[in-house]
């Protein structure tokens, strides 16, 4: 199981276990983010609101060159996209962000607007020419739509939900991205923590594996370049970082345990598609 990958030739290699924040649902401080970086975690996905990660990015100094920073662009039009990007760069006090993904594109009409004559894609293409961004991607829950957009050749990567309870990307997305050699960034790897919880269908004396094993499950798939963890605090971060000390694929037995519990979680909590 690879530990480091390159998302582009002119970007530093990144650890395949990435770090993401999630606004008020995250208590990571700037020191926690630096702690993750000291352990090799250098793909950072910023949620777009003031938090420990944005504070850390502003303090990076010379260490900035070691990181790949990603954020999700909510704008759909060209003018709004420029304003949003400029605001992000100003807020983070950086001259670039390496990855920009169009945030939660859930309908084809949204993509048509983004890719249209006055759409946000035009702004990001120009930003890429000016080296303000390096990679343009898309974030979506809609697997078939994401795969269809990937086929257009307009994207440098996809950000897709993938975990043991949501394995549809194996069928709908990964065959396309692997054929195109398009990097995939996986999010919701623990299904918002539900994979670490029991279900009424569990066998006797079953204890769900900890978060790091669910990241292991995701990272074992060669179609995934980076799996994003989003720990609540330093304690959860350190628990996740234990994966780095035991970096390997799941054994056949472990994989089966993870897969079966993922199926039980999906069965028990059907409201989450």
Work out the angle at residue 146's Cα, subtended by the Cα atoms of residues 171 and 156, and round it to the nearest 5 degrees: 110
Give the residue carrying structure tokens 């993401």. Answer: 20
pLDDT of residue 25: 73
pTM (two decimals): 0.95
pLDDT above 90 for 272 = no
Cα 221 to chain centroid, rounded: 14
Instruction: Check the CA dihedral 10-14-16-22 and report its sign.
Output: negative
Please report how many Cα atoms fall inside a 13 Å half-sphere around the Cα of residue 177, on the Cβ side: 29
Reported confidence tier of residue 270, pLDDT bands at 50, 70, 90: low
For 209, which DSSP code?
Answer: P
Average pLDDT of the chain to the nearest whole number: 96
| pLDDT single digits (tens) 68-102 | 999 999 999 999 999 999 999 999 999 999 999 99
**Strand-strand pairing, 43-46 and 68-73:** parallel
133, 129, 105: which is closest to 119 by C-alpha? 105
In tens, the pLDDT along 174-191 reads 999 999 999 999 999 999
Q: Which two tokens mark 99?
A: 């990855």
């Amino acid at each position: 199981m690879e530990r480091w990958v390159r998302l582009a030739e002119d970007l530093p290699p990144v650890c395949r276990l990435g770090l993401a924040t999630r606004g008020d649902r995250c208590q990571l401080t700037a020191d926690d983010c630096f702690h993750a970086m000291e352990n090799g975690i250098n793909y950072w996905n910023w949620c777009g609101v003031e938090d420990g990660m944005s504070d850390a990015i502003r303090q990076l100094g010379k260490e900035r060159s070691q990181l790949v920073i990603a954020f999700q662009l909510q704008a759909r039009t060209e003018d709004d996209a420029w304003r949003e990007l400029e605001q992000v760069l100003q807020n983070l006090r950086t001259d670039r962000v390496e990855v920009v993904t169009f945030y939660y594109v859930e309908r084809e009409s949204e993509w048509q607007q983004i890719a249209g004559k006055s759409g946000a894609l035009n702004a990001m293409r120009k930003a890429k020419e000016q080296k303000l961004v390096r990679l343009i991607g898309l974030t979506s829950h809609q697997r078939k739509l994401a795969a269809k957009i990937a086929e257009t050749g307009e994207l440098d990567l996809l950000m897709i939900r993938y975990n043991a309870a949501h394995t549809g990307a194996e069928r709908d997305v990964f065959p396309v991205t692997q054929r195109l050699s398009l990097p995939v960034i996986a999010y919701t790897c623990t299904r918002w923590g539900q994979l670490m919880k029991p279900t009424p269908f569990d066998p006797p004396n079953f204890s769900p594996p900890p978060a790091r094993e669910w990241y292991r499950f995701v990272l074992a798939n060669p179609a995934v370049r980076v799996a994003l963890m989003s720990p609540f605090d330093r304690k959860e971060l350190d628990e996740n970082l234990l994966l780095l000390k035991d970096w390997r694929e799941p054994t056949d037995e472990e994989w089966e345990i993870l897969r079966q519990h993922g199926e039980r979680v999906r069965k028990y909590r059907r409201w989450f598609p």
